[in-house]
Amino acid sequence: MTNEPFKVAVAGLGTVGGGTVKVLQDHAEVIAKRCGRPVVISAVSALSKDGLDFDVSGYDWYGDALDMAENSDADMVVELIGGSDGIAKKVVEAALGAGKHVVTANKALVAHHGAGLDKLANDNGVSLNYEAAVAGGIPVIKSIREGLAGNNITKVQGILNGTCNYILTTMREEGRDFAEVLKDAQELGYAEADPTFDIEGVDAAHKLAILASVAFGVEINFKDVHVEGITHVSAVDIQFAEELGYRIKLLGVALRRNGTIEQRVHPAMVHKSAPISQVEGVFNSVVIDGDAVDTVVLVGRGAGELPTASAVVGDICDIARGLSVPTFSVPVSELEHVPTRPMGEHIGPYYVRLSLLDEPGVFADVAAVLRDHNVSMESMLQHGREEGKPVPVVMTTHETTEANMAAALDEIAALDKVTETPCMIRIEGA
């Protein structure tokens, strides 16, 4: 292997870009030892130099990242601009097309265009690494793609969005409502001014689609991820969860069985004894089930300047060392196309909260509907009663199909004495 310096061009000098520059600067000496060659920044690109709290005077400056991707003499472009399309995509395509390796933290880009970028990287004999796109500093892509290469992976699930986990944790700890906690999170910098991508589950879905592709060796398929956010999780459900021995988490779950892939992001009741239920606040966690390793759990910071930069620099070092691994575990030509299992065929237990007028016979009506749809109740909980007034009634069911559950809930919602749309939350890993 060569001892020539490995030259890196960094596109985007925001939070993660700045962190990456700092880590490469501060640890240049030990990184050179670890990689067997110096890893140097040769060029950087951003809209402006204003407000940078690190020195970029030694690097070629490009006002246009695309220009840098095409024309700089770097061995690699590190794309930290963000966004699934627009300039980020152009920069990555140009870099790969010019025979430069690419490292990116851009989950939206990889989720939407991973298959095409994989092909482009392959055609140009370069690598596309994206550890930082999933679960921040946690080395989860590396663990799946390399450490667990001897496994047939059957399931990957995780807490993939720190904003949602922070909100759900705070709602539980402080008994407060979603809207209020979201506002605080925005003030604390844990949620963006426009939090849609986070709280609607889209960000977690990007990450889940990437995980599913790497874990199962299938072509990435973001559009078929079933996505529900946390905006409808209420303080009362969190309370009931506690009472039933669960915590509510926004989970991403991907599993492969019977020739189909199930990919879903939604709030889930997770039993308190499950390791993932203990992961609180802004932390992320990924749980991997493999046929040899059994279960591996990884926990760490899912976002932030330096944790994310840690993952970016890990990727850079791998490529500087000469490591080449297929982008999504197997070569692009070998990626399987596996049908998505329709959500109606999902099988699992459910938590259901109803608002019922407390009158004789009302529960019998509900029970009859469940029976008609082959849904079997596991437990029922009702606190307080006030005749003629609506009271919350909570049930958990045994395993049933989502189609059965949905049909039963439609019918229950239409009952006279049901005063609100029923709230349904899937129970996971129970």
Binding site for a second copy (CB under 8 A): 1, 19, 23-24, 27, 30-31, 33-36, 131, 137-139, 142-143, 145-152, 217, 275, 278-279, 290-301, 304, 306-307, 309-314, 316-318, 321-326, 329-331, 334
Task: Tell me how far, at minimum, the Cβ of 143 lies from a second copy, in Å.
Answer: 5
Q: Is 39 helix (H, G, I), strand (E, B) or coil?
A: strand
Q: How far is the CB of 34 from a second copy (least distance, A)?
A: 5
Q: Which is nearer to a second copy, 142 or 264 (CB)?
A: 142
User: What number of residues does the chain have?
Assistant: 430
Nearer to a second copy, 42 or 308 (CB): 308
CB of 347 to a second copy, least distance (A): 27
CA distance 219 to 268: 26
To a second copy, the closest distance from the beta carbon of 281 in angstroms equals 12
134, containing H or E segment: none
Q: How far apart are CA 157 and CA 117, in angstroms?
A: 25
Least Cα distance to 167 among 202, 198, 135, 208 occurs for 198
β-pairing verdict for 294-301 and 260-271: unpaired
> Least distance (Å) from a second copy to the CB of residue 106?
18
In the complex, minimum distance from the CB of residue 415 to a second copy, in angstroms, rounded to a whole number: 42
Q: Which is nearer to a second copy, 174 or 359 (CB)?
A: 174
Cβ 290 vs Cβ 296: under 8 Å: yes
Q: Which is nearer to a second copy, 303 or 356 (CB)?
A: 303
Nearest one of 222, 204, 136 to 164, comparing CA atoms: 204
> Beta strand pairing status for 76-79 and 6-11?
parallel
Sign for the pseudo-dihedral over CA of 302, 166, 271, 421: negative
Judged by beta carbon, residue 295 or residue 421, the one nearer a second copy is: 295
Partnered with residue 45 across adjacent β-strands are 11, 62
Report the first-to-last Cα separation within the chain, whole angstroms: 50
Burial of 269 (0-12, 13-18, 19+ CB in 10 A): buried
Residue from 183, 207, 389, 417 carrying the catalytic annotation: 207
In the bound state with a second copy, the residue whose beta carbon lies nearer, of 177 and 280, is: 280
**207 an active-site residue?**
yes
Catalytic residue IDs:
207
